[in-house]
Structure 1
């Protein structure tokens, strides 16, 4: 189960191109867990991450 903080980071991925050190650590944890993937310098939400957001009724423009 993801914490509210990790859900907020998932929402931020659609809006941000860079992250501070604390959020980058959270993003990298989400990559390891399969919720986010890295493509070059970009981070993208995986279908697994999208499902979590849909299940939590959170959109990419909400946080």
Structure 2
């Protein structure tokens, strides 16, 4: 189960927010767990990541359309 900080990172990815260096390690963990994928220089939510933020009740318009 993801903690609140990890879910916040998923939401930020869904909103196309850039990350500072200390968050990149946590994003890498989310990639390894299958919640996020890297597309060139950008990160995208996977269906698993979208499902997680939907379950946590924090979907925005951008995330719902991904």
Task: Please give the TM-score of this superposition, normalised by the length of structure 2.
Answer: 0.83
Gap runs ≥5 in structure 2:
62-66
Change (3 A) 1:60 1:21: farther
Instruction: After the TM superposition, list the runs of 4 or more consecutive aligned residues in structure 1 that deviate by more than 4 angstroms.
Output: none
Q: CA offsets per residue over residues 16-44 of structure 1, 9 Å max, x none?
A: 1x211111111111000000000111100
- Residues 12 and 60 of structure 1 are in contact (CA less than 8 Å); yes or no, is this contact kept in structure 2? no
| Mapped pair 1:37 → 2:27 | no
Structure 1 window deviating more from structure 2 (30-39 vs 51-60): it is 51-60
In the TM superposition, residue 59 of structure 1 has moved relative to its aligned partner by 1.5
Pick 1 or 2: higher relative contact order, CA cutoff 8 A, min separation 6.
Answer: 1
Higher share in helix: 2
Gap runs ≥5 in structure 1:
none
